[in-house]
A and B are shown apart, each in its own frame.
Chain A
Amino acid sequence: MSDSETKETAGISRRTMLKAGGATLGAAAFARAFAPLTEWKPTTSVDDFLQKHYKEMSKTDMDSVLRRLEVETKENYGADVSIEDVKPLDGVKFGYALNLSACIGCRKCADACHKENNHDRATNNSYIRVFEMEQGSINFEHGNATYDHEVPADGKYYMPVQCQQCDNPPCVKVCPVEATWKEKDGIVVVDYDWCIGCRYCEAACPYHARRFNWKKPEVPAEEINPVQAYLANRMRPQGTMEKCHFCLHRTRKGRMPACLEACPTGARVFGNLLDPESEIRWVLANKRVFVLKEDVGTVPSFFYFFDQ
């Protein structure tokens, strides 16, 4: 301090000049460091940036968001798609059961999910992982999800695992911004436009059911499934979480999930748990069913059973 004061008699001191030079260089370096952000286009407009939470949007809000998302999909992927906001039906709670005696581990379900839900092609992402398990054990320590040989192999059985649509979902509990919640038909959904990408839900899920968009998903225009829903299979933004939604864009309109339709052995049973006449209710009443990790208290809506 005293240094600079004595020299200041001659107008601008050497020290001040050096400081100004340093500050200029610093500002230039600062601009250079953050330069990559100029290519970052997370949102296209102020409306987009300020988009409200799913539950706070009116019908008109939602309509304009859906139209905007369709335009964005056209711009980013070159595909014409139609995106709907498909609501849950009254008197319906979905349940899923899987016959482990019938499953042969062909992974056709995982592949159907990959296509139906417009997953990133390069990473071969899917909401379903099929574990090859050892006969006589349901310990996943002896399981293997990366098997690469003809199926079914001797001494093995196969266990596809996807979101269990828990009645007490740990993922919903931990989300700091309520970007994920359980709908009245039992499906746990994500508002991809509200998620902040903290991945706390992914840490909380005991079933490895959640997937993060580590980059922008890439799908060729001609392969994009154009029948889309806001809470389901529309193109997900980079940096947000996604998960199995029981194909709600299909099932809420009376169709079956893509994974069920793809299954060659009929191992999958899907239906309305509130309908006493449904096949799923028959399975629950007549087969010896179990749920995964019952001890962690998640209360899944996804059941497994053996036929024999």
Chain B
Amino acid sequence: MASEEAKPSTHWADYPRFLLRSLMLATDGSAKFYAWMTMLTAVALVGANAWAHQVTEGMIVTNMTDHVSWGLYIANFTYMVGLAAGAVMMVIPAYVYDDHEMHDVVIIGELLAIAAIVMCLGFVVADLGRPDRFWHLLPFIGRFNWPISMLTWDVIVLNGYLLINLHICGYLIYTRFLGKKPDKRWYIPFVFLSIAWAISIHTVTAFLYNGLGGRPFWNTAILVPRFIASAFVTGPAFIILTLQIVRRVTNFHIGDGPIHTLHSILRITVLLNLFLLGAEVFTEFYTGGSHTAAAQYLFFGLHGHYELVPWIWTAITFNTLAAILILSPAAKSRLWVLDVACLLTLVGVWIEKGMGLIVPAFVPSTMHEIVPYTPSLVEWQVMAGIFALGLMVYTIALKVAIPVFTGDVTIDNGP
């Protein structure tokens, strides 16, 4: 921003300097920054160690079985796809409705999409029995069962979404670093592509489950809008909390405007999410029959098994409380009320679209056997590790992007 002098385009020299300065920004900071990153590293390494044990000794160290063959990993994978897609709720106001205040801070949402996708890929890898054979899943190199397998579609849309957002963020940060105005032709088409693509990642992820005729709990078309609705709850909720933190720990100017806009979006999506859940619950229980057994297990317990009942009622309580707080006038005048609501719904959806969505499809099993599942310590450790990895990616991305966007770091004021 500082210098607008016309320099010849020397990206071959400027880009390495950009990378060097990024590396410096990523590794240099306050004592609080070091403490935060050290904590995250420690947790990530605990997860890495648990995963190393899992790979070596086999997935027997998880509590998954042939009856409940997907568990905590796939639950978190599903949730993170939602978070990645939900980040688009900043992009739409910024670029479709030309909200200038939102436009100034939209990079925070785009970077969240990147961190969330990194976590998605982490959970997929953690769930593989043979991570050494990941290359079998690469198009052209392995044997890619496209277009028949929905999992191949997910590989395409998730990696595509990652690349699109890496391009948009990388381009915007780099041009700001050079002190140039970004060329719209180089990023606007990608921004609009990313909006459509965001919807696609959660649609395809829902198709992954609802295309299975053998699992009636998933085999419902409403799963797709339910996924999208909860994505548009968690995305804005996470970003509101991030904005609240960023404006306290950095000098990046974030007014109340973007927060109010996200709050307005939440007022609709939090209700829509509850409404769609209600529609699902009605259909399940009014119809009855053996296809309702999974919902029965989830909400009320089945044949003396109540493992998920406290989880789902916690989720429903949190999501309902969050809805009441988000709709109350207090959330507008006192932002801490909104913060609490965001936190509640982040946890609520994490249960409802995580364990509450994955596990009941397996309990009872397709042959109506009841084999309960609660995650093992290794699974919790791996989960915590992947969360820590995602937060590290997000922290570093913000740590680099924000000083560039405020103009504190440019090509002219450093090595």
A, B in one complex: yes
Q: A4-B28, A174-B151 are in contact. Are A36 and B213 (CB under 8 A)?
A: no
- A143 x B367 contact (CB < 8 A): yes
* A196 x B214 contact (CB < 8 A): no
Neighbouring A residues of B365 by C-beta, 8 Å? 208
Interface members, chain A 206-227 (any B CB < 8 Å): 206-208, 210-216
Complex Cα gap A4–B145 (Å) = 54
Chain B residues lying within 8 Å of A88, measured Cβ to Cβ, are none
Identify which of A203, A205, A241 gathers the most chain B CB atoms within 10 Å of its CB. A203
Partner of B59, one of A35, A129, A174, A239: A239
Query: Quick check: A239 and B58 within 8 Å, CB to CB?
Result: yes
The answer to whether B58 touches A216, judged by C-beta atoms less than 8 angstroms apart, is yes
Cβ-defined partner of A145 (8 Å) among B38, B133, B366, B367: B367
> In the bound complex, how far is the Cα of B29 from the Cα of A1, in angstroms?
7
Give bound CA distance, A206 to B218, whole Å: 13
Q: Which residues of A contact B128 (CB under 8 A)?
A: 196-198, 239
| B212 near A170: Cβ-Cβ < 8 Å | yes
- CB within 8 A of B368: which of A22, A143, A199? A143
Query: In the complex, A72→B75 CA distance in Å?
Result: 36
Is A77 interfacial (CB 8 A cutoff)? no
A176 touches B144 (CB 8 A): yes
Query: Contact at B152–A176, with CB atoms within 8 Å?
Result: yes
Residues of B within 8 A of A161 (CB): 367
Taking the complex as formed, is A37 at the interface, i.e. its CB lies under 8 A from any CB of chain B? yes
Contact A176 to B151, CB < 8 A, known contacts A139-B290, A143-B367: yes
Report chain B residues within 8 Å CB of A205.
Answer: 214, 366
Within 8 A of B (CB), among A144-178: 145, 161, 170, 173-178
A240 CA to B136 CA, complexed, in Å: 13
- Which residue from chain B places its CB closest to the CB of A15 in the assembled complex? B28
Determine whether the beta carbon of B137 is less than 8 Å from that of A176: yes
* Mask: chain A, 168-198; 1 = CB below 8 Å from B; 0 = not: 0010011111110000000000000011111
Select from chain A the residue with minimum beta-carbon distance to B143.
Answer: A178
Q: Is A266 an interface residue, CB under 8 A from the partner?
A: no
Rounded to whole Å, the gap between the CB of B127 and the closest CB of chain A is 7
Is there contact, CB below 8 Å, between A203 and B70?
A: yes
A270 at interface, CB cutoff 8 A: no
Closest-CB distance, B86 to chain A (whole angstroms): 25
Which of A43, A53, A178, A206 makes the CB contact (< 8 A) with B366?
Answer: A206
**Nearest B residue to A30, CB-CB:** B45
Q: Does B183 contact A (CB under 8 A)?
A: no
Does B145 contact A203, Cβ atoms closer than 8 Å?
no
Does A116 sit at the interface, judged by CB under 8 A? no
Q: Among A34, A139, A145, A238, which residue has its beta carbon within 8 angstroms of that of B48?
A: A34
Say yes or no: B129 contacts A238, CB within 8 Å: yes
A212 and B215 contacting across the interface, CB-CB below 8 Å: no
Is the CB of B134 closer than 8 A to any CB of chain A? yes
In angstroms, Cα B25 to Cα A4, docked, is 13
Chain B residues near A70: list those with CB within 8 A. none
Q: Are A196 and B52 in contact (CB under 8 A)?
A: no
- Are B132 and A199 in contact (CB-based, < 8 A)? no
- Which chain A residue has the least Cβ–Cβ distance from B408? A1
**What is the bound-complex CA distance between A307 and B38, given in angstroms?**
71
What is the CB-to-nearest-CB distance from A1 to chain B, in angstroms, rounded to a whole number? 6
Q: A35-B52, A208-B365, A211-B66 are in contact. Are A198 and B127 (CB under 8 A)?
A: yes
Query: Do the beta carbons of B45 and A177 come within 8 Å of each other?
Result: no
Known contacts being A200-B151, A205-B366, is A141 close to B293, with CB within 8 Å? yes
**Contacts A131-B367, A203-B70, A208-B365 given; does A176 touch B41 at CB 8 Å:** no
**A204 on the B face (CB < 8 A):** yes
B213 adjacent to A297 (CB under 8 Å): yes
The answer to whether B48 touches A33, judged by C-beta atoms less than 8 angstroms apart, is yes
Given contacts A175-B145, A194-B136, contact A199 B366 (CB under 8 A): no
The answer, among B45, B69, B145, B213, for a CB contact under 8 Å with A202, is B69
Q: Which of B55, B67, B129 has the most CB of A within 10 A?
A: B129
- The answer to whether the Cβ of B27 comes within 8 Å of any Cβ in the partner chain is yes
The residue in chain A whose Cβ has the minimal distance to the Cβ of B52 is A36
- From residue 31 to 55 of chain B, which have CB atoms closer than 8 A to chain A? 34, 38, 41-42, 45-46, 48-49, 52-53, 55
- Give B150-183 interface residues, CB cut-off 8 Å to A: 150-152, 155
Does A296 touch B at the CB level, under 8 Å?
Answer: yes
Structural contact, B129 and A140, CB atoms closer than 8 A: no
User: CA A302 – CA B380 in complex, angstroms?
Assistant: 41
> B66, B155, B362, B368: which contacts A140 (Cβ < 8 A)?
B368
Q: Which residues of A contact B4 (CB under 8 A)?
A: none
In the complex where A33-B46, A170-B214, A205-B366 touch, is A215 in contact with B57 (Cβ < 8 A)?
A: yes
- Is the pair A215, B137 in contact by a Cβ cutoff of 8 Å? no
Q: A204-B212, A207-B367, A214-B60 are in contact. Are A174 and B149 (CB under 8 A)?
A: yes
Contact residues in B for A211 (Cβ distance below 8 Å): 66
Per the bound structure, the CA–CA distance linking A238 and B56 in Å amounts to: 9
- Report the Cα distance A205→B55, complex, angstroms: 25
Say yes or no: is A91 at the interface (Cβ < 8 Å to chain B): no
Chain A residues, Cβ within 8 Å of B5: none
Within 8 A of B (CB), among A1-52: 1, 4, 19, 22, 26, 29-30, 32-37, 39-40, 42-43, 49
What's the Cα separation between A195 and B145 when bound, in Å? 13
Q: Which residues of A contact B255 (CB under 8 A)?
A: none
Residue of B nearest to A241 (CB): B129
A-B contact pairs, 8 of them (CB 8 A): A43-B132, A174-B212, A175-B145, A196-B130, A196-B136, A199-B129, A208-B66, A213-B129
Partner-B contacts on A (CB < 8 A)? 1, 4, 19, 22, 26, 29-30, 32-37, 39-40, 42-43, 49, 53, 129, 131, 139-141, 143, 145, 161, 170, 173-179, 194-200, 202-208, 210-216, 237-241, 293, 296-298
Apart from A176-B152, A212-B59, list 16 A-B contacts with CB within 8 A.
Answer: A26-B41, A129-B367, A170-B213, A175-B145, A176-B151, A195-B129, A196-B130, A197-B59, A198-B128, A198-B129, A198-B151, A199-B127, A203-B215, A211-B66, A215-B58, A293-B214
A-B residue pairs, 10 tightest by C-beta? A197-B129, A206-B214, A239-B129, A215-B58, A176-B151, A36-B52, A215-B60, A140-B368, A33-B45, A33-B49
